[in-house]
Amino acid sequence: MKEINNDIYIIKPYKLGDIDCSVYLIDTKDIDGLISIDPGLYIEPIKNIRQYGFNPKNIKHCLITHGHLDHFGVCYKLKKINPDINYYIHKLDAEKVEQIPYDDNIENYYKGFEYKPVKITKKLQVDNEILKFGDYEIKCIHIPGHTPGSVAYYLETDNSKIIFGGDICGATLQLSGGDLTKYIKSMQKLLELDIDILCDGHLNVIKPAEKVIEFIQICIKMNKYLHIILEEEPNNIKVWYDLTLLEYELGLYDNALDFCNYLLEINPNNSEAKELLKKIKKHNPPKFEFVKNYIKKYFGNQINSK
C-alpha cells in the first residue's frame, strides 16, 4: 500500500501476469468512510489495509470504472464485510455487475473464478455527474470506447488534478464491445483536463502532467494500430511491428509477446521482429493467444498466412 496524494492510496499495484487490476482507496476522514475504486478480483489486498491502520468494514462506497470482471469481481465479498456498502457504475455497464457474467474472455482468463452479482446503488447517467463524499467532490466523466459505460473519476485536491481512469490503455475492439471513434473523443476530453496524476487500471500511477499527456497519446496510437491489424488489415507487417514495439516500450510484455509471436507466424523471416522477441522474452511474460483467437472470430477463414 502506497500513498499517492494525501489520503489517496494504491493498495494493490498491477504486476505483469496479474489477471486483475490496480486497486485504489480514498480516505474521506468523514462519516463517508473509505472509498474503493475498482476493487479488483481478490479480497486479500483489501483485507491487508488493516496493516496500515484502516478497517475494511469502513469501506462504504465502491466506484467501478467499467464492466469488466477484473475490475469488480470481488464486489460480492466486499458486501460480506460491509452489507451496507454502496456501488456506483455507469448505467450502460451496470448489467455486467448485476448478473453472472459469461463470455469467452471469462472462460479464457478467469476460468473457475466464482462471481456473485451485487445490486448497483447508483447507476451513473449524466456526464460530469458529481458524487460528494465528505469534503471530496468526485466528477464522473463518461469516457465510452473501451466499454459503452466506461467512466473516469476525477477530483481536485492539494492543488492536484487526479483521475482514476480504469483501462485507459484498454483495447477498443468491436467484438469486445469497444468503439475506437468514441474512445478517441473520450481521450481528447481527458487531455483537455491537464491531469496531474493518472491512476490507471493496469499501468498504475502515472505522473506528472506531461507524462500523463504522453501516456494518453500513446494509448490512442496503440488503439489505432489495433483497429488496423485486428479489424482491417491483419497482414499489415509494418503495423504489427510498430504495435509490438509500442507495447514493449509501455511495459506490456505479455501483449508484446502475443503480437510478436503472431507477426513471426505470418512473416517468419522478419529479422527486426526476431530481435525484438529476444528482448521481450527477457522479461519472462506469460503467454496467451488473444490475437489468433480474435482474428479467427473477426475474419473467419479470410486470412492469408505468409
Residue 205 pLDDT class (50, 70, 90 cuts): very high
Q: Which residue has the higher pLDDT, 57 or 289?
A: 57
| Residue 104, pLDDT score | 53
> What would the pLDDT profile of 2-29 be if each residue is shown by its tens digit?
999 999 999 999 998 888 999 999 999 9
pLDDT for the residue 167 = 96
The domain ranges of the chain are 2-222, 233-299
C-alpha cell belonging to residue 167: 483501462
Give the model's confidence band at 306: pLDDT under 50 very low, under 70 low, under 90 confident, else very high.
Answer: very low
CA dist 138 and 159 (Å) reads 15
**Element holding 273 (H helix, E strand):** helix 271-281
State how beta strands 59-63 and 34-37 pair: parallel
CA 122, chain centre distance (Å): 21
Q: What are phi and psi of 269, to 5 degrees?
A: -100, 15
φ/ψ (deg, to 5) at 161: -95, 115
The third-level CATH classification (topology) of the domain covering 233-299 is 1.25.40
Q: Say how far apart CA 6 and CA 11 lie, in whole Å.
A: 14
pLDDT for 19 equals 87
Q: What is the average per-residue pLDDT within 236-258? A: 96
pLDDT of residue 108: 62
pLDDT, averaged across the chain: 93
Amino acid at 74: V
Structure pTM?
Answer: 0.94
Query: Using CB atoms within 10 A of its CB, is residue 68 exposed (0-12), middle (13-18) or buried (19+)?
Result: buried
CATH number 3.40.50.300 is the correct assignment for the domain at 2-222: no
pLDDT digits (tens, 9 = 90+) for 131-170: 999 999 999 999 999 999 999 999 999 999 999 999 999 9
pLDDT at 283: 96
CA distances from 46 to 12, 71, 73, 85 (A): 8, 13, 13, 14
